[in-house]
Amino acid sequence: MIAPSILAADFARLADEAAAVSGPAGADWLHVDVMDAHFVPNLTLGLPVVEALRKATDVPLDCHLMIEDPDRWAIGYAEVGAFNVTVHVEAARDPVALAKNLRAAGARAGLSVKPGTPLEPHLETLRHYDTLLVMSVEPGFGGQSFIPEVLEKVRTARRLVDTGHLTVLVEIDGGINTDTVEAAAEAGVDCFVAGSAVYGADDPGRAVRALRDQVRRTTPDRDWKDA
């Protein structure tokens, strides 16, 4: 699965930018980075924009909340129809209750870890989640360089999923482009977030297809229909 990040899109033309990657061979999810200038040193968009975007596109919205107090704010994104709502484990006070609330509101629940956050202390918590978002840059800005060390966490998660100990979809976010996507695919990623590699391209739709083709070529033995 490919999830273009609209952080690299033109914020004045979000509906058009969503349309540029939608369609049969297009984006599986649209990744929406919500930043509050507290959890990360950047400010992007919030609930009203997500609600408007939800009405403007059929592509399922993958909301990545880089905010403090997600226990209070995340539920709103599920209520306006986000498909997947991801919170940061470093910010959540009661991530198990939060996952239950997100699911009860009709969304999938995602848990994200920053590059320096280990997975092991959170494995029990992850049993309550649908997606694991492994950050491969420090959250806050697009266009940064991929941190290859995080792939160890991807391999761990892949192993736990393949052996039936976890049921999360493994997502990676940050610095994904034609140079880095193969290593991520080999490590076992299911869903690739790409901002500048998609919206920095002349043809964002074609960039999505190129990334997906590259992933399929790299991992011909994986059954991507089930991912």
Give the residue numbers marked as catalytic: 33, 173
**Distance in Å, CB of 80 to ligand DX5, minimum:** 19
* Window 14 to 53, contacts with Zn ion (CB under 5 A): 33
**Count of Cβ atoms closer than 10 Å to residue 73 Cβ:** 17
**Distance in Å, CB of 146 to ligand DX5, minimum:** 8
Residue 136 neighbours by CB under 8 Å, 6+ apart: 115, 146, 147, 148, 150, 151, 172, 173, 174, 175, 176, 180, 184
* Window 130 to 149, contacts with ligand DX5 (CB under 6 A): 137, 139-144
**Distance in Å, CB of 72 to ligand DX5, minimum:** 21
Ranked by CB distance to Zn ion, the top (closest) residue is: 64
Euclidean distance between CA atoms 172 and 83, whole angstroms: 17
> Which of 166, 176, 191, 201 lies at the binding interface for ligand DX5 (CB under 6 A)?
176
Q: Which is nearer to ligand DX5, 66 or 119 (CB)?
A: 66
Q: 73 is in the binding site of which of Zn ion, ligand DX5, none (Cβ under 5 to 8 A by kind)?
A: none
- Whole-angstrom CA distances from 178 to 21, 34, 62, 210, 215 are 17, 25, 22, 8, 9
Query: What dihedral do alpha carbons 154, 156, 160, 163 form, nearest 10°?
Result: 100
Two tokens at 7? Answer: 């952080």
> Which of 125, 196, 218, 219 lies at the binding interface for ligand DX5 (CB under 6 A)?
196
The answer to the question of residue 205 lying near ligand DX5 (CB under 6 A) is no
Two tokens at 155? Answer: 């391999």
**Distance in Å, CB of 104 to ligand DX5, minimum:** 26
**Count of Cβ atoms closer than 10 Å to residue 44 Cβ:** 17
Q: By rule CB under 6 A, what count of residues binds ligand DX5?
A: 22
Ranked by CB distance to ligand DX5, the top (closest) residue is: 195
The answer to the question of residue 117 lying near ligand DX5 (CB under 6 A) is no
Q: Which residue type occupies 19?
A: A
Two tokens at 143? Answer: 């266009």
**Count of Cβ atoms closer than 10 Å to residue 117 Cβ:** 16
> Which of 70, 195, 204, 205 lies at the binding interface for ligand DX5 (CB under 6 A)?
195
The answer to the question of residue 158 lying near ligand DX5 (CB under 6 A) is no
**Distance in Å, CB of 165 to Zn ion, minimum:** 26
Pick the piece of the chain touching ligand DX5 (CB under 6 A) from 98-106, 117-125, 188-196, 213-221. 188-196
Euclidean distance between CA atoms 61 and 52, whole angstroms: 11
Which residues form the interface with Zn ion (CB under 5 A)?
33, 64, 173
